[in-house]
């Protein structure tokens, strides 16, 4: 319990001068703190390092330099218990094709030998929360629509009631209507659960819709952090202005206009 006491009030997620290089590309040095119960959106063009940042937080890749802390405690390599306190939706969904929707969602719980009744109850809860049709729990991923598959990914991420959600372009490949539906549902879920959420998107409108704060990444560096207002009014870099304007041309939510 010592770790928990010493971390009271520490950010849920913290990166300190983290560097991860893939040859000339990669991420960092990046420092970033996400306070508990906040939703932060990572935005930026593709190749900016958004997915790499999430992988570092999960410990899927180890930083070359710097440190990742979760609630103040340094992340240790291959800490499976720590990962279970993080819910992750990988870019593309990552559902296992050999397991049903329910089998995917409950995989880790079953590995941890939850009683079947408890698994079933939790599945029911999550299906209701994510508005996933309960009768489709027995279907395999290839038998689900894109929106349903994303809801299953979300159920799987939420199953063990993690403190933190890491979502990598969770609405990436959906048609506009499904996407709008799911956006609304997701925001409600985030609001009702009060979790710390770090969400990757390259869509500025979506970022504004979900997040308290935006973090704009480019070429592995944080260019600017703040509200959309701040990004629009006082861009820290010409690229920030270009990124914001390029996306505004496509239409931003009314309230977000400067």
Partner 1 sequence: MGAALAGALALAATGGSLTVGSKQFGESLVLGELAVELARDVGVPAEHRAALGGTRVVWEALVRGDVDLYPEYTGTVARELLGGAVPAGDPAALRAALAARGVGMTRSLGFEDTYALGMRRARAAELGISRVSDLARSPRLRLGFTNEFMDRGDGWPALRARYRLPQRDVRGLEHEVAYTALAAGEIDVTDLYSTDPEIRRHDLVVLEDDLHAFPPYDAVYLYRLDLERRAPAALEAIRRLEGRIDAAAMIALNARAELDGVAPARVASEFLRATLGVAAAPEEEGRTARVLRRTREHVALVAVALLAAIALAVPLGVVAARRPGVGRVVLAAVGVVQTVPSLALLVMMIPLLGIGARPAVAALFLYGLLPIVRNTHAGLTGIPLELRESAAALGLPPGARLRLVELPLATPAILAGVKTSAVIAVGTATLGALVGAGGYGQPILAGVRLASVPLILEGAIPAALLALAAQALFDLAERWLVPRGLRRARAAGAIR
Ligand X SMILES: Nc1ncnc2c1ncn2[C@@H]1O[C@H](COP(=O)(O)OP(=O)(O)O)[C@@H](O)[C@H]1O
Of ligand X, Mg ion, partner 1, none, which one sits near residue 173, judging by CB under 5 to 8 A according to partner kind?
none
Site residues for partner 1 per CB under 8 A: 55, 58, 60, 80-84, 86, 88, 90-100, 107-108, 111, 140-143, 156
Of ligand X, partner 1, Mg ion, none, which one sits near residue 84, judging by CB under 5 to 8 A according to partner kind?
partner 1
Q: Is 47 left (phi over 0), alpha (psi -120 to 50) or beta?
A: left
Is position 46 an interface residue for ligand X (rule: CB under 6 A)? yes
Is position 47 an interface residue for ligand X (rule: CB under 6 A)? yes
> Which are the contacts of 70, defined by CB distance < 8 A and separation ≥ 6?
12, 13, 14, 57, 82, 85, 86, 164
Pick out residues in 50-79 that bind ligand X (CB under 6 A).
Answer: 50-52
Q: Which is nearer to partner 1, 90 or 223 (CB)?
A: 90
Per the structure block, which two tokens stand in for 192? 């009702």
Determine the Cα–Cα distance for residues 155 and 149; give it in Å rounded to an integer: 10
Burial of residue 238, with CB atoms counted within 10 A of its CB: 0-12 exposed, 13-18 middle, 19 or more buried: exposed
Per the structure block, which two tokens stand in for 201? 């998107």
Of Mg ion, ligand X, partner 1, none, which one sits near residue 47, judging by CB under 5 to 8 A according to partner kind?
ligand X
Is position 218 an interface residue for ligand X (rule: CB under 6 A)? no
- Out of 26, 72, 92, 146, the only residue in the binding site for ligand X (CB under 6 A) is 26
- Out of 48, 101, 171, 204, the only residue in the binding site for ligand X (CB under 6 A) is 48
Decide: 169 and 177 in contact? Cβ < 8 Å: no
Q: Which is nearer to partner 1, 106 or 228 (CB)?
A: 106
Closest CA to 205 of 251, 149, 164: 251
Binding interface with Mg ion (CB under 5 A): 51
Binding interface with ligand X (CB under 6 A): 22, 25-26, 44, 46-52
């Amino acid at each position: 319990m010592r770790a928990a006491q010493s971390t009271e009030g520490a950010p849920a997620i913290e990166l300190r001068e983290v560097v991860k290089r893939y040859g000339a590309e990669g991420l960092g040095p990046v420092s970033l703190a996400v306070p508990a119960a906040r939703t932060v959106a990572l935005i930026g063009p593709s190749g900016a390092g958004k997915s790499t940042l999430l992988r570092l937080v999960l410990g899927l890749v180890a930083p070359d330099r710097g440190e990742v802390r979760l609630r103040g405690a340094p992340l240790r390599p291959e800490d499976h218990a720590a990962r279970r306190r993080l819910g992750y939706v990988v870019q593309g969904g990552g559902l296992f094709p050999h397991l049903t929707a329910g089998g995917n969602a409950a995989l880790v719980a079953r590995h941890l030998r939850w009683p079947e009744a408890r698994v079933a109850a939790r599945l029911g809860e999550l299906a209701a929360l994510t508005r996933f049709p309960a009768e489709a729990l027995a279907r395999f991923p290839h038998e689900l629509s894109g929106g349903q598959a994303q809801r299953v990914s979300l159920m799987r991420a939420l199953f063990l009631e993690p403190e933190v959600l890491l979502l990598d372009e969770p609405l990436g490949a959906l048609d506009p209507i499904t996407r709008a539906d799911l956006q609304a549902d997701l925001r409600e879920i985030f609001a009702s659960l009060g979790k710390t959420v770090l969400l990757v998107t390259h869509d500025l409108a979506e970022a504004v819709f979900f997040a308290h704060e935006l973090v704009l990444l480019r070429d592995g560096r944080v260019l600017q952090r703040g509200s959309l207002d701040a990004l629009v009014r006082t861009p820290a870099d010409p690229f920030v202005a270009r990124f914001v304007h390029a996306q505004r041309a496509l239409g931003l939510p009314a309230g977000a206009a400067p």
